[in-house]
Amino acid sequence: MQVEKYTTDSHNEALLKEHKRRLDYITAAVNDAEKIIQKLTAFQVAIPSWALGTGGTRFGRFSGGGEPRNLEEKIEDIGLLHKLNQSSGAISLHIPWDIPENASHIKALAAQNGLRFDAMNSNTFQDQPGQELSYKFGSLQNVNKAIRQQAIDHNIEVIKYGIELGSNSLTVWLSDGSCFPGQLNFREAFQHTLSGLQEIYKALPADWKIFVEYKAYEPNFYSTTVGDWGQSYLYSSKLGPKAYTLVDLGHHLPNANIEQIVALLLMEGKLGGFHFNDSKYGDDDLTTGSIKPYQLFLIFNELVEGMDAKGMDHVSDMGWMIDASHNVKDPLEDLLQSVEAIMLAYAQALYVDRKALKDAQQNNDVVAAQEILQNTFRTDLRVLVAEARLRAGGVLDPLAFFRKEKIREKLIKSRGSKTVATGL
């Protein structure tokens, strides 16, 4: 779907005067606004190939129409998002939902859309048509060696696809676990999983990373073999320097202190990837920042502080991705909202007065520490995010543009109203 330059130009022109007024106000009030804008311009969040369609639950799925019918159209959708916000310049592929049949063609198409390939995602949580052995009782943890081998081989195949596309990381999320007490020998399940991951690790190219994603429960409801950050950390430290823990915001038990988890993993040099979403009750996969924006800010506060303490590059030293599902919203509008929330939380974290916070902590001044964080959170920095977008060639108000240009209607017209994208 092509967006003509004159449409973005006239959109920006119409909003420019008010934008400048707000920008002047905030740059006068905020120290280092220019530095924040530059960091925002560089920051990119990957969009997974399974997030372009309407999501569903086990009860149903209500497609909105115009969904991408193949990988090429998914790349075009992400290219469109990136064109509007200039912050979605990467795609994360899921195998086998989105196998790149012709890698050089897919690579070229992504490049045309200004996208690079983020982490590759394997799938041993479903049985595929024609698959010889079933993952019903787990993949890498399975008591059957042949099933474990099948899961190892699949992950190695995913790495091969990733090499062809120029990706440099593999995310392994296992649904392995048990639904009932007694079903599983925990130690044996761990050992099997570890040796499977070790085989996959051996197949990684020298400059690749492997991310071990954890999840507290679902689809298994009694135990999960990579159930929390401690277990993920055990695997990633036993595997070696190319292995990292991946934090998905929705994969914790209720009220877990995710900002503290992030801080400690960064301290140990073992946080490699991050999946954004939001939730009220479980792994709800809702729009990032829609339920707990303050928590998102607190997490970003630890991310920025922890990465700076290690001298890490905010853009390239972490795999940033949205991992959400869109049950009732237009997926593209939902993704625009998520990216906006992420950029805003990042901007706020960059704006925290580190020295003042450190002083408050050293003096046990609890009130001052809270004031510093909450004053930052309550400062409206949205105009800095918009300015970064504008400078990079995007539009001032992506959602308004999407609606005014009737982009979904155009997609339905060209793709049809009954299309269903592969994915969740």
Applying CB under 5 A, the residues found at the interface with Mn ion are: 248, 275, 323
Phi–psi pair at 368, nearest 5 degrees: -65, -40
Q: Any idea which residue has 């990042």 for tokens?
A: 346
- The full DSSP string for 77-117 is HHHHHHHHHS---EEE-BTTTT--SSHHHHHHHHHHTT-EE
CB 37 within 8 A of CB 388: yes
Q: Which sign, positive or negative, has the C-alpha torsion 280, 285, 291, 294?
A: positive
Of 168 and 277, the one with the shorter C-beta distance to Mn ion is 277
Tell the smallest beta-carbon distance from residue 251 to Mn ion (Å): 7
> For residues 66 and 272, which CB has a smaller minimum distance to Mn ion in the complex?
272
Three-state SS string across 144-192, please? CHHHHHHHHHHHHHHHHHHHHHCCCEEEEECCCEECCCCCCCHHHHHHH
Task: Tell the smallest beta-carbon distance from residue 213 to Mn ion (Å).
Answer: 6
C-beta of residue 135 within 8 angstroms of C-beta of residue 151: yes
Nearer to Mn ion, 248 or 333 (CB): 248
- Which CB atom, from 23 or from 246, has the smaller least distance to Mn ion? 246
- Of 33 and 172, nearer to Mn ion (C-beta) is 172
Q: Is the distance from CB of 88 to CB of 415 less than 8 angstroms?
A: no
Cα 143-149-152 angle, rounded to 5 deg: 115
Q: Closer CB to Mn ion, residue 11 or residue 252?
A: 252
**Least CB distance from residue 405 to Mn ion, whole Å?**
31
* Distance, first Cα to last Cα, the chain: 23
State the nearest-atom distance from the C-beta of 162 to Mn ion, in Å.
17
CB of 145 to Mn ion, least distance (A): 28
The residue ranges of DSSP E strands in 207-328, in sequence order, are 209-213, 223-224, 243-248, 271-276, 319-322
As measured in angstroms, the least distance from the Cβ of 381 to Mn ion is: 27
Shortest Å distance, C-beta 248 to Mn ion: 4
- Residue 180's CB is within 10 A of a number of other CB atoms, namely 10
Question: 154 or 275, CB closer to Mn ion?
Answer: 275
User: Nearest distance from residue 410's CB to Mn ion, in Å?
Assistant: 31
Pick between residue 41 and residue 92 the one whose CB is nearest to Mn ion. 92
Phi, psi (degrees; rounded to nearest 5) at 272: -115, -30
Q: What is the DSSP letter of 224?
A: E
Q: Is 273 exposed, middle or buried (0-12, 13-18, 19+ CB in 10 A)?
A: buried
| 53 or 398: CB nearest Mn ion | 53
How far apart are CB 247 and Mn ion at their closest, in Å? 9
Distance of CA 75 to the CA centre of its chain: 16
